[in-house]
Chains A and B, each alone.
Chain A
Amino acid sequence: MVCGFLGAGKTTFVVERIKNSRGRTAVLVNEFGALGIDGTLIRSEGGLDVVELPGGCICCSQKEGLGKSVRSIAETIGPDLLLIEPSGVAEASEVIKTLTDEALAGVIRLDAVITVIDASTFFDFSQPEAFGAFFLDQVQNADLIVVNKTDIVSPAEGERVARRILELNPSAVAVETSFCRLEAPLPSWRQKSVRSEGSFGPAMECVSITPESPISQQQMKKFSLALSSGEFGRLFRAKGLVRGADGGLINFQFAGGAMSATPFNQEVRSRIVLIGYNLDRKRINEFFA
Chain B
Amino acid sequence: MQIPQDTQTSLERVGSYLQGVNPQRIACFPLILNHAARSIDVPVAKCIRDGELFGKAHVAAYRRYGNDLITFLSTTSSLAEAMGQKLNFIEDDAPQLADPLIRKLEDIERVKIPDFSSDGRLPVYMEATEYAVAEVGQEVCVSTVFAGPFTTAAALRGTDVFVRDLYNNKEWVHQLLELCCQAGIKFVDEILKRKSLPILVEPIGSASLISPRMFSEFVSPYLKRIADHIHANGGGMPSVLHICGKTKPNWKPMREADYDIWSLDVVDMGEARAFAGDRVTLVGNVTPANLLKNTPEQIDAEAKVICEKAIGNPRGFILGSGCEVPINTPPQNVDALINAARRYGQLTTDDMPESLEKSCC
Is A bound to B? yes
**A interface residues (Cβ-Cβ under 8 A, vs B):** 5-7, 31-34, 36, 54-61, 63-64, 87-89, 91, 94, 103, 125, 128-134, 137
CB distance from A188 to the nearest CB of B (A): 37
Contact of A58 among B97, B164, B167, B203 (CB under 8 A): B203
Sample (13) of A-B pairs whose CB atoms are under 8 Å apart: A5-B160, A5-B164, A6-B161, A32-B158, A34-B96, A58-B244, A58-B245, A59-B203, A60-B244, A60-B266, A61-B324, A131-B209, A132-B208
A133 touches B208 (CB 8 A): yes
- Complex Cα distance A32/B151, Å? 12
Chain B: CB-nearest residue to A124: B167
Complex interface: chain B residues within 8 A of A55 (CB):
94, 96
Chain A: CB-nearest residue to B164: A6
Residue B323 interfacial (CB < 8 Å): yes
Complex interface: chain A residues within 8 A of B203 (CB):
57-59
Residue B239 interfacial (CB < 8 Å): no
A34 touches B206 (CB 8 A): no
Residue B332 interfacial (CB < 8 Å): no
Residue B189 interfacial (CB < 8 Å): no
Chain A: CB-nearest residue to B31: A59
CB distance from B60 to the nearest CB of A (A): 21
- Complex Cα distance A89/B209, Å? 6
Residue B235 interfacial (CB < 8 Å): no
- Complex Cα distance A6/B165, Å? 11
The interface-forming segment of B18-26, B210-218, B224-232 is: B210-218
Contact of A56 among B96, B99, B163 (CB under 8 A): B96
- Complex Cα distance A103/B294, Å? 12
**Given that A60-B289, A64-B326, A133-B249 are contacting pairs, would A33 and B88 also be in contact in the complex, using a CB cutoff of 8 Å?**
yes
Complex interface: chain A residues within 8 A of B159 (CB):
32, 56, 87, 89
Interface string of B272-293 (1 = CB under 8 A from A): 0000000000000001110011
Complex interface: chain B residues within 8 A of A58 (CB):
203, 206, 208-209, 244-245
B244 touches A54 (CB 8 A): no
- Complex Cα distance A87/B245, Å? 15
Question: Which 8 A-B pairs rank lowest in CB-CB distance, beginning with the nearest?
Answer: A33-B97, A129-B211, A59-B323, A33-B96, A59-B244, A132-B209, A60-B288, A6-B160
A60 touches B209 (CB 8 A): no
A61 touches B167 (CB 8 A): no
A64 touches B164 (CB 8 A): no
Complex interface: chain B residues within 8 A of A5 (CB):
160, 164
- Complex Cα distance A58/B164, Å? 17
A131 touches B167 (CB 8 A): yes
Complex interface: chain A residues within 8 A of B166 (CB):
131
> Quick one: which of B88, B203, B245, B265 has the most chain A CB within 10 A?
B245
Question: Which residues 284-339 of B sit at the A interface, judged by CB distance below 8 A?
Answer: 287-289, 292-293, 322-324, 326
